[in-house]
Each structure stands twice: as structure tokens, then as C-alpha cells.
Structure 1
Amino acid sequence: MPELYERIAERFGELILNCPPDRWEDPSPCPGWTAWDVVAHVISNHRRAIAGLDGSGYSAPGRGEDLPRAWDAASEAIKAALRDPVKARTLLGEEFGSMPFEEFVRRMACADTLIHGWDLARATGQDEGLDSEAVAVATEILLPEDRDIRMPQAFGAKVPSAADADARTRLLNFLGRQV
């Protein structure tokens, strides 16, 4: 599991670093969100996960915050916790579905960081490729939650997929993204 998270996090970090400076305010596939908003959301969820693990407070990045630096700190904190067997198995509270930290990260990485990585790439004109193992894991996690994820500020209505669509396209369409 740590390897999958590390690949997804590394890719997300590359997208942040390679974002053209004039594209941060471009609209993302998430209605009402810019590229900056997508990155701030993912960083905030990472900070929230660490806060759930250690009881600390957290905040979303502010407009003046250095996003590459904030991402590095947030993803490194997750990686460090995953490498610690006690922290990795720590049961998070009800807010997190009462699951072990490592399982929450698995779900967060695939259902949030992976998909929002695609959103960021689309918004900023970067490579929209996705890790095939992560796509398979995200599909396994999200398909059974179809009803639960169709709410405001989550995932939009499904987009029909062509019969011959690949796994990445089917997942993105399932999550309301036009590919």
C-alpha cells in the first residue's frame, strides 16, 4: 500500500511543480473550482488525515501559501505515518469511517489524490495519464459506493462510457468527468 500511495503522491507533486504559473486560476473539471482549488482541497484532506491520526488541528491552504511546499509537507507526513506500523494501523474515528489510517489513506489516495490529479492535469494542460493499478483500486473502492458519492461537493452524475472504453475512461466517466 505505501508504494501505491507514493506513486500517486509523486505524480500529484509533479503536476503541481509543472503547473504553468498562469494556469492556477484556470477552471478545473470540478464545477466552481480552479486548478488552485483542486490542489488546496487535496492538501487539506492530507492534513485532515494526519490530524485524525495524531489529534492535531489542521487548516486548508491559504491563498498566499506555497502549494509545492505545502504538498511536500503533507505527503511526507502521510508517508512517514504509513512507514510506522503502529500509526499505519491506528484506528481513526467516526469522521473517517472508523477505519485504520492505512486503509483511509488507500481510499483517499485513490478516490481523491488520483482523480484530482487528473482534474489538475486537465485544468493545466498536462499529461492526463493515471496509474493503472490505482485506477483498478479506485474502481474497486468507488463502484460499490455509487449512491453515497452522488452529492454536492463530491462526484457528479455519471457520464456514459463507450463500450470499448478503457478502465481509466470508465472510472473517470463514472465519476462525472468528460474524457
Structure 2
Amino acid sequence: MSEFEEQYRGRADAAGAEEIAARYRRRADAFGAKVAAVRADQWENPSPCEKWTARDVVRHIVDMHGVMLTPIGRALSAAPGVAEDPAAAFRAARADVEAVLADPALAGRECDTPSGRLTALQHIDQVVSRDLPLHGWDLAKATGQDDAIDPADVEEASSSMDAIPEETLRMLRTPGAFGPGVEVFGPEVKVGPDASAQDRLLAFIGRDPRWRP
């Protein structure tokens, strides 16, 4: 590779990193706003995720932030737990992940993941960043908030789902395939031909778009 190509690739990688960080911030802003809007008496409301309450949805997101840090030798900072203060727990976990995104050395560090060898930046973008809009929908449905997902996030997630190989998809729908108690996707839900793009995405990952508490 020539010096010019190396410089060009470095600029492209930097632009990609900035785009990923901006995408994460936008999604975290939206999720954080939903967390902040939950009333104290709503935290034990059921959610579209079977066996999960509204509080459990936030706990999952906070835990997944920790999962993003583990392969690069980091952990969540000391902070109030989700049981005591879900909003504070999410803010702290978000700050830990944003510190990685802001550090080129950490963001570019490669690690082994269920999807193969990825940089920390790619891992965050493909997992917890993509989780935020979907679990934001869960939280919104559980607590009576606006459940619309940003159309850009619906399009991005739908495109990535379409590219999943059938064998991988079967694993994603198999409880425990990625660890004890882990279920990534549920069985696909049937929706009509006139379903919206958001509803088709939710149905694909095993959510019933018509779910009500």
C-alpha cells in the first residue's frame, strides 16, 4: 500500500469512527430520554420482552454496555445500580462506552466476538448501538411513550437483518446459543403485507408490533 493510500485509508477510518460515534450518541440520547420519562410507578410494568419489566429492559442495555468493554479489558465504572436509579446507571454506562469511542487506540483495538474478530468500534456499532432503538421501543411500549423508531435506524437494522446467513439466524433464534439464558431473537411474528417497515423489523426479531401491556 502506498503512502497516499495509507493516508486516505486513515482519513476514511477516522470519518467512519466519527459517524459511528455520532450514531451511537443519537441513539443513546433517544434511549436516555425514554428512561428519564418513565414514572416511578412504571418501572415494574411488563414489557414486550417476555419475563422482562421496564426496569429489566434498562438493566439489559446497561449490562450490554459492560459486555462491549470486557473484550478490551475494561469494565463499567462504579455507579448506582439499575435497581436504585435506572437513569443514573444508564448515564454512567453510556459515559464508559463513549470514552472508548473517543479514544482511537481503544476504539481500534481488535477483540474476539460472537461475530468474529472486530474492533471495539465495530463491536459497539453492531451490538449495543443497534440495540438501543429496538429496546427503546420495548421501553416505550411498556411505559406508554411514543414508540416510533427513527426511520434511519429501521432501515439500517433491516438491511443488516437481511444479510444474516440462515445458519446464523437459526442460532440467533435458539435460546442459549450465545450463553446461558441469552435469547437474541424470538420466533418471527406474522404481520400483514401492508405492515410498516418498523413493524416488519420488529416482527422479524420476534416482537409483536401490536403488543399492549
Query: Does TM, normalized by the shorter one, top 0.5?
Result: yes
Matched residue of 1:147: which SS?
Answer: helix
2:196 equivalent in structure 1 = 166
Paired with 2:128 and 2:76, the residues of 1 have a C-alpha distance of 21
Q: Aligned-pair distance for 1:166?
A: 2.1
Q: Aligned-pair distance for 1:96?
A: 6.5
**Structure 1 unaligned regions, length at least 5:** none
Paired with 2:97 and 2:75, the residues of 1 have a C-alpha distance of 14
Give the structure-1-normalised TM-score: 0.89
Is the 8 Å Cα contact of residues 110 and 135 (structure 1) preserved in structure 2? no
**Structure 2 unaligned regions, length at least 5:** 1-19, 176-182
| 2:29 is the counterpart of 1:6 | no
- The amino acid of 2:38's aligned partner reads C
After TM superposition, the structure 1 stretch with the greater mean CA deviation from structure 2, 81-90 or 50-59, is: 50-59
Q: How many residues align?
A: 179
RCO higher in 1 or 2 (8 Å CA, sep ≥ 6)? 1
| 2:122 is the counterpart of 1:99 | no
Is the 8 Å Cα contact of residues 118 and 128 (structure 1) preserved in structure 2? yes
Paired with 2:76 and 2:194, the residues of 1 have a C-alpha distance of 46
Paired with 2:199 and 2:66, the residues of 1 have a C-alpha distance of 29
Give the structure-2-normalised TM-score: 0.76
* Residues 69-111 of structure 1 deviation map (CA, whole Å, 9 limit, x = unaligned): 1111111221221122221111122456321111111112354
After TM superposition, the structure 1 stretch with the greater mean CA deviation from structure 2, 89-98 or 12-21, is: 89-98
Q: Which has the larger radius of gyration?
A: 2
1:151 equivalent in structure 2 = 174
* Residues 119-171 of structure 1 deviation map (CA, whole Å, 9 limit, x = unaligned): 01101111101122222222222331532310222221111222222221110
Percent identity at matched positions? 35
